[in-house]
Structure 1
Amino acid sequence: MLLSELYNPGLPQLVLFDLDGTLLDSVPDLALAIDRMLAALDLPMAGQSRVRHWVGNGAQMLVKRALAHATGVEESDLFDQAFTLFLHHYGLCCAEQSKLYPGVEALLTFLRDNQVSMGLVTNKPIGFTERLLDEYDLRRFFSIVLGGDSLAEKKPHPMPLLCAMDRLGVAPVQTLMVGDSRSDIKAAQQAGCKVAAVTYGYNHGVPVSAYQPDIIIDDLAELFS
C-alpha cells in the first residue's frame, strides 16, 4: 500500500481530492460546452483534444484559452459574452458524457471504511461541482466540498487546502492531497501536506513528475492495493 509509505504505520487522517482529471474525466462535456459556445459566437470549434490541454485552472481560464485559440487574440472583448454562453451550455450537458475513472469508488469506500476523512477541493465552480457529485453519487463521501469560487483564492494557492484542513481540524502532516496537475501539487506543497499525482489527468501535456509530487500513480487503486 503506497499510503503506508508516507504515513507509516497507518493512513492519513484526511485525504483531499481534486475532481476534474482525478476522479472524473469531464473533458467530453467541457469540450461539448466550449464548442457550443464558440459556434454561438460564429467562431471555429475547438474539439475535445484541444480542450483536454486547456482545462485545470478553472472555468474562466478555460474560456479564455478557447477564445485565444479561436480569435488569435490573447484578451478578447468577447469574454463576458462567451463565459455566459459557456456556463449556459455546460449547465445543460455537464453530466452527459463524463465518466468516473477506474478505482474511484473503491478508493473512496476504502478510506471511508477506515475512518479517513475526505474533502473535495476543485477549481470548478461550486454549482457545477455539487451537481456532478450528486449525478455520480459521490457527495456522501466528502465532509467538505470547496469549488473554485468558494474562497478568495483557488489552487495553486494553498488557501483552499488550508481552509479544508482547518475546518476539519486536521494538521497538514496528517493530510494527503490527490490530484492530477501542477495546481494540485503546488497547492499541497505550499500547504505543507503530502501529494499524490495521477498520470492520466489534465496537466497541459507536462508530466506530473516535473513538479515532484511525493507519489506518482497510474491508477487510484495503487494507493490501497
Structure 2
Amino acid sequence: MPDRDFSVQWNSAVRQRFGDTGPELVLLDLDGTLIDSVPDLAAAVDTMLAALGREPAGQQQVSHWIGNGADMLIRRALSCGDEDAANALTASELQTPRQLFDTAYLSTLHQATGVFPGVSDWLERVTTPKILITNKPRLFTVPLIDSLGWTGHFLRLICGDDFSEKKPSPMPLFKACEFANVTPSNALMIGDSRHDIGAAKAAAICSAAVTYGYNHGDDIALSHPDYLLNSLFDLMEPKNA
C-alpha cells in the first residue's frame, strides 16, 4: 500500500550528507531489499534437489544461502550450507544441478515472489535516478523486473553475470556510477546484506541497509551501514516533520 505519511523529500540526515537535493544516484539491490524471492528460489532449489534424489532444503535454509548469485546458491544447496564443501565443487559437478535449477526457477518465477511493503510506492514517487545491482543472473532478472512493471524505474539493470566480478566486489557499483556519470561520493547504495554494504564501503559509496532482508541470517547492523532502514521511506522526510 502507498505510504502517504512520508514526503518525497530526503530526510535531514540524507540532506546533511548529500545536500538539499539528496544523492544524484540510488543503487538498489533486488532480493531481500525490494522483493521477497525466497518462496520461488526455495521451490526451484527443492525441485533440483528432488531430481537429484536429495532431501528438500526448505525456505528457511534457502533464505540463508541467498546473496551471491545462482551458482553459489546451488553450491550451498548441494553441500547443505557447508561453505568449504560448496567452494570445492567443480564446474562439471555443477552442470546438471544448474540446468535443473534454471529450468525449475524459470517455470516458477514470480509465482510466489512478493514485493516488500512500500517498495513499489517508493520506486514510483522518488524520482532520483536509480540503477538495480543484483547478483541474480540476467536470465532471471529481466523477466522478473518486467513482470513487476518496474522496467521504467531503472536507468539500467546490472546483473550478476554482466561483468567479471559481482558484489561484494565494488566493480558493479563503479560501473553503475560510470554509466550514470555520477561520482561515487554522490551515490547511495541500498541493500540487505553484508555483500551490498561491503561493496559500497569498498567503492566509498554511502550505504543504507534494510533490516527486513536475508543477510544469511545475520544482523545487518554488524556490517555498519551509514543508515539502517525498516522501510525505504525511512530515508524520506515525514510529512509532519
**TM-score if structure 1 supplies the norm length?**
0.94
Q: Does 1:218 align with 2:230?
A: yes
1:149-188 to structure 2, matched below 5 A, reads 149-188=161-200
Quote the sequence identity (%): 42
Residue 36 of structure 2: which of 25, 48, 52 is its match?
25
Q: Does 1:110 align with 2:122?
A: no
One-letter amino acid of the structure 2 residue matched with residue 187 of structure 1: A
1:25-56 Cα distance to aligned partner (Å, 9 max, x none): 00000000000000000100101111011101
Tell me the matched-pair count: 222
Contact 1:102 1:220 in 2 (8 A): no
- The residue aligned with 1:42 is 53
One-letter amino acid of the structure 1 residue matched with residue 150 of structure 2: L
- Secondary structure of the structure 1 residue equivalent to 2:79: helix
- In 1, Cα distance between equivalents of 2:17 and 2:206: 8
Contact 2:69 2:160 in 1 (8 A): yes
CA displacement at 1:19 relative to structure 2: 0.3
Residue 122 of structure 1: which of 99, 122, 134 is its match?
134
Residue 56 of structure 1: which of 61, 67, 82 is its match?
67
Identify the range of structure 1 (150-159 vs 99-108) with the bigger mean alpha-carbon deviation: 99-108
Q: Does 1:13 align with 2:33?
A: no
- In 1, Cα distance between equivalents of 2:165 and 2:235: 29
- In 1, Cα distance between equivalents of 2:227 and 2:106: 34
CA displacement at 1:111 relative to structure 2: 1.9
- In 2, Cα distance between equivalents of 1:19 and 1:85: 23
1:148-205 Cα distance to aligned partner (Å, 9 max, x none): 0001100000000000100110011110000000110011111111010001111111
- In 1, Cα distance between equivalents of 2:234 and 2:157: 24
1:200-221 Cα distance to aligned partner (Å, 9 max, x none): 1111111111111000011112
CA displacement at 1:8 relative to structure 2: 3.1
Q: 1:118 to 1:186 in 2, by over 3 A?
A: same
1:200-219 to structure 2, matched below 5 A, reads 200-219=212-231
One-letter amino acid of the structure 2 residue matched with residue 60 of structure 1: D
One-letter amino acid of the structure 2 residue matched with residue 17 of structure 1: L
Contact 1:106 1:221 in 2 (8 A): no
- Secondary structure of the structure 1 residue equivalent to 2:175: helix
1:75-94 to structure 2, matched below 5 A, reads 75-76=88-89, 78-94=93-109
Contact 2:65 2:81 in 1 (8 A): no
Q: 1:198 to 1:39 in 2, by over 3 A?
A: same
CA displacement at 1:73 relative to structure 2: 5.1
CA displacement at 1:9 relative to structure 2: 2.4
Identify the range of structure 1 (214-223 vs 16-25) with the bigger mean alpha-carbon deviation: 214-223
Q: RMSD in angstroms over aligned alpha carbons? A: 1.7
Displacement over 6 Å in runs of 4+: none
Contact 1:196 1:217 in 2 (8 A): yes
CA displacement at 1:70 relative to structure 2: 8.5
One-letter amino acid of the structure 2 residue matched with residue 211 of structure 1: S
Residue ranges of structure 1 left out of the alignment (5+ in a row) = none
